[in-house]
Amino acid sequence: MSSLTHFDDAGAPRMVDVSDKAPTRRTARAEAFVRMRPDVIARLAENPKGNPLDIARTAGIMAAKKTADLIPLCHSLPLSNVDVETRTHADGIHIETMAATTAQTGVEMEALTAAAVAALTIYDMTKALDKSIEIATIRLIEKTGGKSGDYRRADTGRE
């Protein structure tokens, strides 16, 4: 068997069989950062499409629920919670997401997908003000549960 779990011995892609694993509580948090000019940040509240941060929160939650439809070998999970928070900074918007489940596999992809889609939504809703907006970071902050145990990234968040 290959050490890369999404490939069989011949190198063909496959979904990992988790049927023998017991369901356990699992959580994951991810973050993204959307870099933009201060004048764009100042105009967020007057956006004619609605508040980009509120729409991004909803989009992130919806995306987490559709992760298995977007990522080819990802398992469909019964999510028990998804949250998306945004914080405005002088140079952009910090997005932090959380996903939780009790299942046979983890929710890292759901938390990452929520962060990515929330960031893309902010871009979509503000691109008329500035085409140079940049999605600078999408990464896992931490995960809990499962066979591989807990993980926490050392360099996370923005103050």
Instruction: Average the pLDDT over 14-27 and give the result.
Output: 83
Task: With a cut of 90, say whether residue 132 has pLDDT above it.
Answer: yes
Lookup: tokens for 84: 């998306």
Contact 82, 110 (CB under 8 A): yes
Domain boundaries, the chain: 24-145
Closest CA to 120 of 61, 65, 60: 60
Catalytic residue among 8, 39, 69, 124: 124
Task: With a cut of 90, say whether residue 125 has pLDDT above it.
Answer: yes
Its pTM stands at 0.89
Confidence of residue 1 (pLDDT cuts 50, 70, 90): very low
User: How do residues 4-16 score in pLDDT, each as one tens digit?
Assistant: 576 677 777 777 7
Contact 27, 102 (CB under 8 A): no
Can 124 be counted among the known catalytic residues?
yes
User: How do residues 25-73 score in pLDDT, each as one tens digit?
Assistant: 999 999 999 999 999 999 998 888 889 999 999 999 999 999 999 998 8
Task: With a cut of 60, say whether residue 153 has pLDDT above it.
Answer: yes
Closest CA to 113 of 6, 21, 26, 28: 28
CATH superfamily for domain 24-145: Molybdopterin cofactor biosynthesis C (MoaC) domain (3.30.70.640)
Confidence of residue 2 (pLDDT cuts 50, 70, 90): very low
Instruction: Average the pLDDT over 109-133 and give the result.
Output: 96
